[in-house]
Structure formats: structure tokens, C-alpha cells
Amino acid sequence: MRIIVPFTDRDPKSRLTPVLSTTERREFALAMLCDVVDAVEGVGHEPELLVPEPLDFEGPATGDDAPGVGLDADAVERLESLPATVDDRPLTAAVNAALDDGSDRDPVQAVVMADLALATPTALRRLFAAGGDVAIAPGRGGGTNALVVRDPGFSVDYHGASYRDHRRIAAEADLPVAVVDSMRLATDVDEPSDLLEVLLHGDGRARRWLVDAGFEVGSGSDGRVGVRRR
């Protein structure tokens, strides 16, 4: 199985801007990518990165106020060693091109988003073992966080409610769809409220990064739970 992990470090995780600086967002995004790579490797596959430009691990000079908490050298080395396809088109076009390009080499391909900080080998194994010519792990909010494609007649469309669109595209091509019911795969980390899920359920680099950056679980007097930063 060929596993494509799209990733960009062009202004990554912009919806976390209220709580993280530019440098921090970039580091946190890379930490999540490492977690996804770990999970994929835990199932016994080597992921391929799909990036709009070669990753620059030195990091751009941002002139940013907050320096970040740093990325460990092992993580950087590991990411640098992964095969990568560079395609600067928007996500949908780049993924479809990668799928088209690979379908001769491997009849089973998967696309796993890079911000699934809760992904585990167990959760991915459930997705990879699901039947269907297309297997989908829906994301919270209508997205498609991971999918397996076993038929070249399928193409992706990540704009809007992609979960619904992917079901429609599969139905139009008469391709059976399996849906995987996983909170871990449904949790893409976009918003500040998602950080709570990483703190509560993560056990990888992304969670450690948040802890190192001073984030912790906090409860208000009303019993509502959130994150706060020391």
C-alpha cells in the first residue's frame, strides 16, 4: 500500500494563530506530521510526503516574536529521509495527480492528512483493513481525514464538505464505500479547541510539544473543560 501524506509549511495551521506564533505553528505542525509518520510506520508502511515545495527544516526567517520550543534533531532527520513529491498546485489537484501517477505502481493507495495528531497504528489498521473500493475516515466538520483508494476511477475533492463529496464521487463511479468510525482519525487539529483532544488523548510528539509549550487541561467553575497556557 502506498501512503501519501500531504503537508505544507506555508503558514500551517493558520486557525491556531490566536494561540500560537508563526514559528510555533510551524513546529507544532511538524510535530503532528512526525506523529502521523510514526503511526503509518507502525503499521509497516513508509509514507510519502506530498509538499508544495521542498521542506526547509532550517525554517524561514519569520522575524516572529516567539521563538518556539524547538524540534528535536531526530525528528527532522527522519522527515528529511522520507520520499517526497513536490507539487505546488492546490491540495485536490496535487493529490489527484499523485494518485494517478501511483496507481500503476500500487493498486492500493491511501491519503492520510498530516494533522491527525491522535492517529495510532491501531486506528490506521482499521482504516486499511476496511472493505470498499474507497474507505473513508471522516473528519469532524465534514472533512475527509484519511482515505484508501483501491480503484483508479475515484478522485478526490477536498474543498467544502469533502466527506459528502467523496461519497457522491464514489457512488457516481459505482464504487462501494466503507466508512471507519474512529474518533482518533476524525480529530484533525485545526482550532484551539482541538488542542484539548491532543492533550487528553495524544501520546506522541505533538502532545509533548504542547506540554513543553506550557499548555495544560483546565476546567472552568462551570465544569466546562478547555486548555490554558502557563
Contact residues toward a copy of itself (CB under 8 A) are 120, 122-123, 138, 140-143, 159-161, 163-164, 181-187, 193, 196-197, 200-201, 217, 219, 223-225
| Nearest distance, CB of residue 63 and a copy of itself, angstroms | 27
Q: Is the CB of 98 or the CB of 118 nearer to a copy of itself?
A: 118
Q: Is the CB of 9 or the CB of 188 nearer to a copy of itself?
A: 188
| Nearest distance, CB of residue 217 and a copy of itself, angstroms | 6
Q: Is the CB of 17 or the CB of 193 nearer to a copy of itself?
A: 193
Q: Is the CB of 117 or the CB of 185 nearer to a copy of itself?
A: 185
Q: Is the CB of 18 or the CB of 223 nearer to a copy of itself?
A: 223
Give the CA angle between residues 23, 28, 32 to the nearest 5°. Answer: 150
Task: Work out whether the CA dihedral 20, 21, 22, 26 comes out positive or negative.
Answer: negative
| Nearest distance, CB of residue 141 and a copy of itself, angstroms | 6
DSSP 13-57: TGGGTTTS-HHHHHHHHHHHHHHHHHHHHHTT--EEEEESS---T
Cα 83 from Cα 134, distance rounded (Å): 24
| Nearest distance, CB of residue 135 and a copy of itself, angstroms | 14
Which amino acid is it at 142?
G
Q: Is the CB of 141 or the CB of 214 nearer to a copy of itself?
A: 141
Asked if 95 and 158 touch (Cβ cutoff 8 Å), the reply is: yes
* Cell, residue 3: 501512503
- Which residue reads 524540534 in cell numbers? 71
| Nearest distance, CB of residue 97 and a copy of itself, angstroms | 20
Nearest-10 crossing angle of helices 22-42, 121-129? 60
Task: Work out whether the CA dihedral 183, 185, 189, 195 comes out positive or negative.
Answer: positive
Pairing mode of beta strands 109-112, 144-149:
antiparallel
| Nearest distance, CB of residue 94 and a copy of itself, angstroms | 16
* Cell, residue 41: 510506520
Q: Is the CB of 51 or the CB of 91 nearer to a copy of itself?
A: 91
| Nearest distance, CB of residue 182 and a copy of itself, angstroms | 5
